[in-house]
Amino acid sequence: MVDWNDTTVKLAVYLIYGTSFLIMFAALTLWKKRVSHIEIMDDFKYLAAFGLLHGLAEYSDIPGFLAWQPSWIFDLVKLLLVLSSFAALLAFGLNIISSGIEERRWLRGIPYGAFLMYIWLLVFTGLDFTNQDTGINYKAADLAQRYSLGLIGAAVTSYAFFDLSGKMKTIAGEIAGKKFMFAGIGFALYAIFAGLNVNPVFGVPAVVYRSVIAVLITIAVIGIFGLFEVKQSK
């Protein structure tokens, strides 16, 4: 049996989780420059931002396992990184589903409004002044952002990839459609384990499922970029 509370095991899980999304960020950043002639790829900058911010957010948990102090700094850093990453993920999904449809362009402002609204709620309802150790009620704040921006962002992004899957199947064939579909499935699972459920499943912590899903999402996204012809630089 794996002891999920063991510090070494926790470090391994969070390193896999964070590194997976950082690899996705690096791959998207590298490939985006090479496929900049493909219009829809411009929106993948938001997915790259999600990968960077969320990867760093998972790394920010590591000092807590090592008992570094003051712990509230790392809690605050992670809270802001996760919040920003979920806003970027929602921005990606909404930009994809509103692409080329003028009537849906207003959707693109939602992530910014949601981000500001969450900060407002955090200031007025998420701060804990009930004890001498004044600070953020991190658990409540984390749950709030997961059940809102996290869940919606992952769900919308999943829908966006499924929508692209159908279009790409028509344009580029079944294999292309399946690669987008795999990414959609990955984000659907991420919506469940990063948004809906934060409790252990079959005795395994939710973060373990998230780390596995992060690896699968990264593989799927890299596979998508492999579909496109690289523009040769002169």
CATH number of the domain bearing residue 178: 1.20.1070
Domain that holds residue 98: 7-225
Q: What is the pLDDT of residue 52?
A: 96
Residue at 231 is within a domain: no
Residue at 233 is within a domain: no
The first and second tokens of residue 185, run together, are 């499935």
Give CA–CA dist 53/80, Å, rounded.
9
The alpha helices in the chain, defined as continuous H runs, are 7-34, 44-59, 62-65, 71-98, 110-121, 138-145, 151-172, 174-190, 206-225
**Nearest Cα to 112, choosing from 84, 140, 93?**
84
Q: What is the pLDDT of residue 189?
A: 96
Q: What is the pLDDT of residue 137?
A: 72
**Nearest Cα to 218, choosing from 31, 62, 11?**
31
The first and second tokens of residue 216, run together, are 């699968």
The first and second tokens of residue 139, run together, are 């658990």
45-79 pLDDT, tens digit each: 899 999 999 999 999 988 888 778 777 788 888 88
pTM for the predicted model, two decimal places: 0.84
Tell me how many domains the chain contains. 1
Q: What is the pLDDT of residue 169?
A: 81
Amino acid letter for position 116 = L
Q: What is the pLDDT of residue 129?
A: 47
Residue at 2 is within a domain: no
Which residue has tokens 């999402």? 217
Residue at 55 is within a domain: yes
Residue at 117 is within a domain: yes
Are the C-beta atoms of residues 97 and 163 closer than 8 Å to each other? yes
Q: What is the pLDDT of residue 234?
A: 44
Give CA–CA dist 15/134, Å, rounded.
30
Residue at 234 is within a domain: no
Q: Which residues, given as ranges, of the chain have pLDDT below 50?
A: 37, 129-133, 231-234
Residue at 202 is within a domain: yes
In this structure, the chain runs to a length of: 234
Residue at 1 is within a domain: no
**Nearest Cα to 74, choosing from 83, 65, 61?**
61
